[in-house]
Structures are given as C-alpha cells and as structure tokens.
Amino acid sequence: MTYQEFKPCPLCGAPEQIPFAGCTDFMVSKESYTLMRCLSCGVVYTLDPPSEEEMKRYDKLNQKLKLGESPSGLIGKLYFRVRNHMLRRKAKLVETQAYRTNGSLLNYGAKTGFFSNRMERRGWKVTSVEKYHEERLFSLEMFHHRMIDIPEMENLHDGTFDVITLWHVFEHCHDPNGLLDRFYKLLRPGGILIMACPNIQSTDAMHYGPYWAAYDVPRHLWHFCPSSISGLALRHGFTLMHHERLPFDSFYISVLSEKSMRHRMAFIRGMAVGFRSWMVSLTRRGKSSSLVYVFRKRQETE
C-alpha cells in the first residue's frame, strides 16, 4: 500500500502517510492494527482505532494494579515497589521544573489518584481529571479526593494552573490538538506542561519491532518520539524546556514484550533486554523506553 491510499494525517493534516508497522492487541482482543507514519510531522498513529465509546471494552489492562489491590506474582510486586519510588521522583520533578514547592496543579488522566494524593500531601492544590467512574470512586474512598469527569473541565477557569501533568495518558487521547489548546488556556503565564509517553525510537522498541508492548494497540492511539511530540506541542504554543528518561519502563515493557512473543523464560529475557536499553539511555537519553517532557507555555509575543 502507498501513502496516497490513506487519509490526511489526523494531527497536522498533511497528505503523505506511509505504513509504519502492523501490531496486534496481545492483551485483550487479539485484533490487528496498522500503524501509520506522517511524513510531514513524523507522528505515528493507529489507523482506524475504536471510537472513544468502543474503547471501553479494550481498556481492561492491569485493573487490579490500577485500583491498588494486593499484587500477585513477581511482576505485580515489582510494579508496586517501582510505583512508590516513581511517585517521589515525579513530585521532585514537578517542583524542580516549576521552581516552586506549592501551587495549583491539574492532573489529567489521574487514574486512581496516587500521584494527586502525593502532591496534595506536599501542599499543592490539586484538581484531578479522570474519565472512568470506578477510578474516581476509588480516589474518593481511598484518599477523600474528589476527581472530576472530562466534561467538567469546561467549568475550569482559564489561567488557573501553574502545572498540568499527564503520566502515560496523552497517547490515549482521541483529540490531542484540542487538548493541547485547552491546556494552553488553563495554564498561567509561564506555566508548565509535563507529559510522559513511550518512545518509539527507544532501544527496546527497535529490538522488539511490532511486538514492542508499548505500542499497546488499540489503546495507544499515538506513538511519539522526541522530535514529533515537541513539534506537535510547538504548534500549540509550548516550548520544550527539558526531557528525561523514566528509568524502569524499559524493564517492564521488555518483559511484557517477551510474554507477547511467548518466549520461554520471558522474565529473564525481558530483564536482560530492559537492562541493555537502560544502559544505552544513560548516555543517549533519546533512546530511553519512555520519556518525560517538560513544556513551557509561550507568551503571545514570543
């Protein structure tokens, strides 16, 4: 198939697209999807994904882990240990990049509220947005923290927040352009937008090809590298100020990739690949399995 057979890029509108990879939903449906790459903006996207309403039946991964239930198995226990460490690391990142230890923070796609709770305990005024009722209810019962649904964002006032965070959420959003425009309005002058996303140029992505678990079709609609996500943000008024690696993602993603390939000793093999990816990212940050991007809101005169 050639690029002329496909629709314009859903993000930038450019006409030239080429097939990037064919991937399978190994976790839930076993359905296959084509990934397309825009030759203009460089963004890779999942072709013809389910609608936002249909996506509910695909979004069943790691529900026990999301809802904080007792972990079972080695991977589950490791997940909880890593999560606690990363909550501390994320909080430090926010305060370092925002140059403040308190303020107003919007946590978009807050899931069950562990990060929101951590920031509230550190003195931040936190507004959390989560589309799933089950997660919102868990946050209310566990942390006494009320989250709002996505439509309620319309009630938020422009220029309200010092920081907006999305932790492995942006790649799931059906309307990235609209969302970035909304974030620009919600941020105060000089406010920052922090987003964590998988990196399709990572060492482990190159190793596993279409079996790389972080493609996670069809739940992941967009697949970014540093240049494509920074270009997208720039078109919506944001300047990339900093990016850094998420050090543990390469291990988790590599183990899941090995399981998708049904390899024997998947955990050991995945840890070995993850370690190699982690080592490469020590000196080549852009090869990290996942990256955290820090964008600053540009002023109209910049």
Rounded CA-CA distance 98/181 in Å is 20
- pLDDT for the residue 7: 81
What percentage of the chain carries pLDDT values higher than 70? 91
Alpha helices, H only, the chain: 63-66, 73-98, 114-121, 133-143, 176-186, 203-208, 226-234, 249-260, 266-283
Mind listing the pLDDT tens digit for each residue in 73-88?
Answer: 666 667 777 888 999 9
- pLDDT for the residue 73: 62
Instruction: Answer whether residue 180 is part of any domain.
Output: yes
Dihedral pair phi/psi, residue 61, rounded to 5° = -75, 140
What's the chain's Rg over C-alpha atoms?
19
- pLDDT for the residue 4: 45
Instruction: Answer whether residue 219 is part of any domain.
Output: no
Which residue, 147, 178, 205, 237, is CA-closest to 52? 178
- pLDDT per residue of the chain (302 residues) written in tens, 0 to 9: 444 456 899 999 999 999 999 999 999 899 999 999 999 999 999 999 999 989 988 876 544 445 455 555 666 667 777 888 999 999 999 999 999 999 999 999 999 999 999 999 999 999 999 999 999 999 999 999 999 999 999 999 999 999 999 999 999 999 999 999 999 999 999 999 999 999 999 999 999 999 999 999 999 999 999 999 999 999 999 999 999 999 999 999 999 999 999 999 999 999 999 999 999 999 999 999 999 999 999 986 55
Mind listing the pLDDT tens digit for each residue in 90-108?
Answer: 999 999 999 999 999 999 9
Instruction: Answer whether residue 245 is part of any domain.
Output: yes
- pLDDT for the residue 59: 78
Rounded CA-CA distance 87/246 in Å is 12
Query: What is the SS3 assignment for 297?
Result: strand
246: CATH: 3.40.50.150
Rounded CA-CA distance 205/176 in Å is 23
Instruction: Answer whether residue 36 is part of any domain.
Output: no
Dihedral sign of CA atoms 80, 76, 218, 130 in order: negative
- pLDDT for the residue 301: 57
Instruction: Answer whether residue 48 is part of any domain.
Output: no
Mind listing the pLDDT tens digit for each residue in 52-65?
Answer: 989 988 876 544 44
Q: Which secondary-structure segment (H or E) carries 166?
A: strand 161-167
Query: What is the SS3 assignment for 109?
Result: coil
Rounded CA-CA distance 57/74 in Å is 27
Residue 66 Cα distances to 61, 63, 206, angstroms:
9, 5, 28
Instruction: Answer whether residue 34 is part of any domain.
Output: no
Query: What is the SS3 assignment for 298?
Result: coil
Rounded CA-CA distance 266/274 in Å is 12
Instruction: Answer whether residue 123 is part of any domain.
Output: yes
Residue 65 belongs to what domain range? 61-214+237-297
Q: Would you state the structure tokens that stand for residue 28, as one six-digit string? A: 């839930």
Peptide bond into 15 cis (omega under 30): no
Mode of pairing for the β-strands spanning 44-46 and 32-38: antiparallel
If phi > 0 it is left, if psi is from -120 to 50 it is alpha, else beta; for residue 73 that is left
Instruction: Answer whether residue 228 is part of any domain.
Output: no
Cα angle, residue 196 at apex, residues 199 and 102 outer, rounded to 5°: 160
Q: Which burial class, exposed, middle or buried, applies to 220 when counting CB atoms under 10 A from its CB (0-12, 13-18, 19+)? A: buried
Q: Into how many domains does the chain fold? A: 1
- pLDDT for the residue 68: 52
Cα first-last separation, the chain: 42
- pLDDT for the residue 299: 80
